Structure 1
C-alpha cells in the first residue's frame, strides 16, 4: 500500500512544487492539498478515518495556521502523522509544534530527497528532525546526567528516542506494555520531565536513538 500524503501550504508555488516532487515517487500517493488549515479540516474532520497517512503542514498560514490545524487533527486522529515543513527554524515555532506531537519538522530549503526520506520515516513511526532544528534543540537543552540509569532504562530511552509507542517498545524488548510504561514513568521522574514528548526530544537530540535495539 502506498503512503498517502496530503499537502497544506498557503503559497501555491510551494504547494505545487511539493506535489510535483511527491507525485513521481514510487510508493507515495498524493491524495489532496489545501491552501490553509481550515480547508484541510473541513475535508478531514467529517471522515471516520483520515484520508491521508502523512500530512505535510506549513505553520504560518491565513484563516487557520498550522499549529491550530495540527491540534485539531491530532485530537480527531491521534495516529495521523504530521510533518511540519516551515520556513521558520526558530524554537519559538519548533517547540509548540513538537509539543503537539507532530512527527517531524523540516525547513523549506530541504532538498526533495530529504522531504521524501522524512515522509517515509514519519510514516514508519519515527521522529524526523531537520539537522539544524535538532542542533538548536540540543543546544537549548541542559545536559542531563544518565549515569544513574539502569541497563533496561537505557534500552527503553533509546527506543523512546526513535518515537516508538509503549507497545512497540514492549514488543522489541519482550516486556509487557505495563512494565514499559513503568520504565518510562521512572525515566520521567529521574530526568525531572513532565511529558514523554519532552523525554523523546531530549533523547533524540542527544543521540540516544543511534544504537537503539531493533529486536
Structure 2
C-alpha cells in the first residue's frame, strides 16, 4: 500500500482565472493537495501558519505587497516551506531578487501544467527548478567576482545544476560516470557549506561563482 503523502501546495496569484485554473490542476492531480489559494500576500500571512504548505507558488506583481517581499514575510513564518516564483517577468533583477528573498525555483507563467507539477515535486525533493531560458540568461550573465573555492570541473557542474540539468545529463555531457558527478556535487556542497541543490544554486547566484 502506497502511504506517500500528498505535497501540500499554496497559491498566491491575483489573476482569478489563473489562480482557479492552477487550483484545479493541482487539486485534481494525484500526489498533490492544493490547501489554499489567495489573491495577495497579506491574505496568506495568517493562514500559512495553519495550512503549513510545503510549496508555495508565488506571483511577483500582486496588489499591495509584491511577491518578492511576500516571500520574505512568509519565510519568517514558515522557514521550511519552499517557494517557486511563477511570473511573466524574466528580467535579471526580478530573478536575482526573488532568489535572494528565498525563492527556490523560478518559472514563467507559460510553463505547461505537467512541467509545473514536476517542478513542485522537484523543489519538494531538494531541487531548484528554473525555466531554461531564464537559467541560460542567468548563467551567461555571471562573471566570478572573487576567487572561487571550486575547481574548474566543479564550477562546470555547478553551472549545469543552475541550468536545471539532471545528474545523468551532466554525466553524459562531461563523459564521466554518475558516481563522479555525485562526488563533484558532494564536494561543491562541502565547499559552499550548503546541504541541497537549491542552496547551491542560490549561493552560486548570490556570490557569482559561475
SS of residue in 2 equivalent to 1:42: coil
- Judge conservation of contact 2:192–2:203 (CA < 8 Å) in 1: no
Cα shift at 1:89: 0.7
Q: Which runs of 5+ in 1 are unaligned?
A: 164-171, 174-178, 186-194, 207-215
Q: Which runs of 5+ in 2 are unaligned?
A: 165-181, 194-198
SS of residue in 2 equivalent to 1:62: coil
Matched, 1:7 2:11: yes
Deviation digits for residues 108-140 of structure 1, max 9, x if unmatched? 011111111110001111111000110110121
Match of 1:68 in 2: 69
Alignment CA distance shift 1:37-1:139 (3 Å)? same
Partners of 1:84 and 1:42 lie apart in 2 by: 20
Alignment CA distance shift 1:22-1:106 (3 Å)? same
Moved over 3 A (4+): 143-148, 179-182, 195-203
Cα shift at 1:75: 2.0
SS of residue in 2 equivalent to 1:102: coil
Number of aligned residues: 178
Cα shift at 1:184: 2.2
Match of 1:26 in 2: 30
Match of 2:151 in 1: 149
Say what the alpha-carbon RMSD is for the aligned residues: 3.5
Matched, 1:184 2:192: yes
Alignment CA distance shift 1:148-1:134 (3 Å)? closer
Alignment CA distance shift 1:29-1:150 (3 Å)? same
Matches within 5 A, 1:187-202: 198-201=202-205
- Judge conservation of contact 1:98–1:197 (CA < 8 Å) in 2: no
TM-score by length of 1: 0.70
Match of 1:188 in 2: none
Deviation digits for residues 52-74 of structure 1, max 9, x if unmatched? 11000011001221111100111
Alignment CA distance shift 1:76-1:197 (3 Å)? farther
- Judge conservation of contact 2:96–2:205 (CA < 8 Å) in 1: no
TM-score by length of 2: 0.71
Match of 1:42 in 2: 46
Partners of 2:68 and 2:134 lie apart in 1 by: 17
Match of 2:60 in 1: 59
